[in-house]
Amino acid sequence: MLDALTVATAIAALLLAAWCGWAAYRDQPTKDWHFIGMAVVSVLALAQLAVGVVQLARGQKPDQGTTIFVAYLLGALACVPVAGFMSLAERTRWGSVTVAAGGVVLAVLQVRLYDIWGG
Amino acid sequence: MATAEDAGERTRRTRLIKGPGMLLVWLYGVMVVGAVSRSAVQISTEFAHAPLAYSLSAVAGLVYGFITYSLVRGGETARKAALVCCAAELLGVLVVGTWTLVEPSAFPDATVWSDYGMGYLFIPVLLPLSAMYWLRKGSR
């Protein structure tokens, strides 16, 4: 797996979490800029899925199994967009908290992805 | 405006996913995906390795799924059902957490509830507590 991309995605996810956490702290819902941020993070997760699939296609094998690896890649891709839609339905600070939680979950998924691929 | 909203509120089911409830649905959703997919993979590929642990993960997934559904559905019955399930969930985490510490040999592989959910940032312990707090508040 591309380590640089994994690290970049994890950091971007944590930044997004901090940013939306700040919005929640100031009692604000998610705004357009937050959604742009979510889009950036989601694009990183999408790039990761693409890189992961290409590497599998080249015949490389993740340490802990292909099924789990692909499942985590899909989970990582879905994570932030789902939280984003939920924040659209909840136009209060709690929507921002939800997206912040989504960012943290994505960062954790990155650590797991790194382990699953095998360092 | 306010009176119209109030009237609408009474005819509809009590919404359980407003405010903090939305965050709870998200976290429960994550736990559902985590527990169900994990146990599905493990049960289908290596069930004999740690049958107890994998079965418990599957049960945890079902409980999480039911709570998520109840929260999204809303209403008084769902609120009570979710409250009962959260209590069962908390009990499960505490019992299984203690069990894994007292008798690790019964668990060759981890469950979602091992060591009180340490592998999941202790979310399995914290989630039922906050959910029960939120659901009890919703009754007033």
Mean of the per-residue pLDDT values for chain A? 94
Of A34-48, B40-54, B126-140, give the range with the top mean pLDDT. A34-48
Q: What is the pTM of this model?
A: 0.89
Q: Which two tokens stand for residue B102?
A: 């007292």
Q: Is A86 within 8 Å of B41 when comparing Cβ atoms? A: no
CB of B58 closer than 8 Å to CB of B39: yes
Whether B10 shows a pLDDT value over 50: the answer reads no
Q: What is the total count of domains within chain A?
A: 1
Alpha helices in chain B (DSSP H): 2-11, 20-46, 51-73, 76-102, 123-137
What are the DSSP calls for B103-128, one per residue? -GGG-SS--TTGGGGGGGTTHHHHHH
- For residue B39, give the chain A residue with the closest CA: A68
Range of the domain at A48: 3-117
Q: CB neighbours of A44 closer than 8 A, spacing ≥ 6? A: A5, A8, A9, A12
Give, rounded to a whole angstrom, the gap between the first and last alpha carbons of chain A: 8
Chain A / chain B CB contacts < 8 angstroms: 40
Summarize pLDDT for B118-127 with one digit per residue, the tens. 888 888 899 9
Summarize pLDDT for A79-102 with one digit per residue, the tens. 999 999 999 999 999 999 999 999
Summarize pLDDT for B81-92 with one digit per residue, the tens. 999 999 999 999
Closest approach of A71 to chain B, Cα-based (Å)? 8
What is the spatial distance between Cα A91 and Cα A72, in angstroms, rounded to a whole number?
A: 29
Task: Give the mean pLDDT of A48-63.
Answer: 94
Q: CB neighbours of B105 closer than 8 A, spacing ≥ 6? A: none
ipTM of the complex: 0.91
- For residue A105, give the chain B residue with the closest CA: B30
Q: Which two tokens stand for residue B27?
A: 């976290």
One-letter amino acid for residue A27 of the chain: D
